[in-house]
Amino acid sequence: MINRQNARPDNPINYTEVLERIGGDTEFLEELLNIFFLEFQEKKSQIEVALARANFSLIQEIGHSLKGASANLSLPSLRSDASALEAAGRDKNIERARQALISLVVECRALHDFVRKNPPQAQAQSV
Amino acid sequence: MSQEIREKMRVLIAEDDVINSRILEKNLLDWGYDVVLARHGEKAWQALQDQALRLAILDWMMPGMDGPEICARIRRRKKYQYTYIILLSAKDRKRDIIAGLSSGADDYMTKPVNYLELRARLRTGRRIIDLEDKLLATQKQLRDLASRDSLTRLWNRAEILRFLDEEADRSRREKKSVGVIMIDIDFFKEINDRLGHDAGDQALLRVVHRVKRNVRSSDRVGRYGGDEIIVILPDCDAERIQKVAERLRRAVGGRPMKYDGRSQRATISVGCAAATETADPRTLIRRADAALLSAKGRGRNCVVVEGVSGTPGKERQNDQPSKRQTR
């Protein structure tokens, strides 16, 4: 059980779902989110290079990887954008890939802000 | 499943995504598994060379080698115990699932993983491994039953002949000699007739016990038939075989043994033969048997050694010369 406000469907993270996946360990979730943010920065740079070189297979690969990570952390918006990036890479559509990256960056920032205001530990207190 | 496996089974997690890998690792450790991690297909394949890894969770897409390729390689290899594989993938179309299972995976799960489901599926994997272990143990038991004499637990005639063939091959390859000792319990028929077959069996078991205690672990002791015991001695020439045979004779007849409820003496007659580059292993047995017959003819409780091949690469055609007798 988590704060009602934090369980809204438009939230960037579904705490209920992800905590269920990792046995309710909020510290572990914080660690995973930190890994995600670090990896996101790295992948963002890789996507920018791939876009500049029109390397569609790399775009598809990174999109696939981000899709998996966001699915595991129950980040619905990020998952959807990562899926769009993967599809753009597969379809060799540079414009859609650019749009997907912009959207990913916005969503990641939103997630970061949300987590700062509603840290995983706070979810445990509301159980 | 052995207790050890039940308590701490090792599972390979082959997954290049750090977050998924960490979540899998945490859950598996919480469920009591030991975890081996690989983030690259080649590393996963290397880890799977360890026979103790019987359960594997493989991601479909990995750098180096993907999950289906690893599955196919695992299924191609021989002499390994079964490895139960769960393939993970974001691919959830029917044709992907079919392709994943066709590559050799036992199970297929789509991402994001439902961990209650994964836990149950791992239990299924353990049950399969448990069944395989039981099957192999039963096979071993059956093999053992088929190759041992039921009374003495010595190798039976077929098995000892197979072993002699192997040793003869080796002696030819390595130019080393191989020895055969044939042992017969003196007046065994009288023991049976006078004291009954139970007493005869007991006497045979006592003799076997003493023989086994006086040979090397590399030597094979078998029951050739009735009260005839055969010993195959790798890397053993005529000089050495005589010493061994004499030691056996003394070990059996040197002090009384208890059978039929009382202390009694039993002696053995021993015939031996040794050869290098044995063309026909059965000839060696015939020669040892002839030596045994000779020992019996000389009054029993003695050792007779047939000579070594005089000319390397050739079997002695007649078994007459170089008889040595000790009492």
Can you give the C-alpha Rg of chain A in angstroms?
15
Angle at which helices A26-52 and A56-72 pack, to 10 degrees? 170
* % residues pLDDT > 70 (chain B): 91
Show residues of chain B in contact with A21, CB under 8 Å.
23, 112-113, 115
Which residue among the candidates B184, B219, B227, B319 is catalytic per the annotation?
Answer: B227
The interface predicted TM-score of the complex, written ipTM, equals 0.81
Please give the span between the terminal C-alpha atoms of chain A, in angstroms, as a whole number.
5
Predicted local distance difference test score (pLDDT) of residue A125 = 55
Q: How many CB atoms lie within 10 A of CB A80?
A: 16
Predicted local distance difference test score (pLDDT) of residue B324 = 42
The pLDDT tens digits of the residues spanning A19-55 come to: 988 888 999 999 999 999 999 999 999 999 999 999 9
**Cβ proximity of B253 and B266 under 8 Å:** yes
CA distance B57 to B250: 61
Predicted local distance difference test score (pLDDT) of residue B6 = 53
* % residues pLDDT > 90 (chain B): 68
Instruction: For domain B157-326, say whether CATH 3.30.70.270 is its number.
Output: yes
Decide: helix, strand or coil at residue B222.
Answer: strand
Place of tokens 């000790």: B326
Q: Which residues pair with B11 in a beta bridge?
A: B35, B55
Mean pLDDT taken over chain B = 88
Contact B22 A31 (CB under 8 A): yes
Across residues B122-136, what is the average pLDDT? 94
Decide: helix, strand or coil at residue B243.
Answer: helix
Predicted local distance difference test score (pLDDT) of residue A124 = 61
Across residues B173-178, what is the average pLDDT? 89
Residue A28's H or E segment, with its range, is helix A26-52
Does B230 score more than 50 pLDDT?
A: yes
Show residues of chain A in contact with B61, CB under 8 Å.
64
A·B CB contacts under 8 A: 49
**Cβ proximity of B324 and B304 under 8 Å:** yes
**Which tokens in the block code for residue B217?**
């672990």
* Ordered alpha helix ranges (H), B48-114: 67-76, 94-102
The pLDDT tens digits of the residues spanning B63-98 come to: 899 999 999 999 999 888 899 999 998 888 899 999
CA distance B38 to B67: 12
CATH code for the domain defined by B3-145: 3.40.50.2300
CA distance B208 to B205: 5
Domains of chain A: residue spans and CATH: 5-125 (1.20.120.160)
Q: Per-domain residue ranges for chain B?
A: 3-145, 157-326
The count of residues in chain B is: 327
Topology agreement, domain B3-145 and domain B157-326: no
Place of tokens 């002839």: B290
CA angle B86, B88, B94 (to 5 degrees): 100
Predicted local distance difference test score (pLDDT) of residue B314 = 30
CA distance A104 to A77: 8
CA distance B31 to B125: 14
- Please indicate whether residue A94 or residue B225 has the higher confidence score (pLDDT): A94
Mutate to test the interface with B, among A26, A66, A72 (most CBs of B within 10 A): A72
Tell me whether residue B227 is one of the annotated catalytic residues. yes
Does B24 score more than 90 pLDDT?
A: yes
Does B228 score more than 70 pLDDT?
A: yes
Does B1 score more than 80 pLDDT?
A: no
pTM for the structure as a whole? 0.67
